[in-house]
Amino acid sequence: MSIWDVEYVKEGTNFILRVTIDRPEGIDSDKCYEFTELANPVIDEADPIDGNYFFEVSSPGLDRKLRLSEHYIASIGHEVELRTIRPVDGKRDFAGVLTGFSDDVITLETKEGQKLFPLKETAYTKWRFT
Q: What is the pTM of this model?
A: 0.79
The per-residue pLDDT for range 9-44, each reduced to its tens digit, is: 999 999 999 999 999 899 999 999 999 999 999 999
Confidence band for 62, pLDDT divided at 50, 70 and 90: confident
Confidence band for 81, pLDDT divided at 50, 70 and 90: very high
Residue ranges and CATH numbers for the domains of the chain are: 2-58 (3.30.300.70), 69-127 (2.30.30.100)
b (16+ CB within 10 A) / e for 96-113? bbbeebeeeebbbeeeee
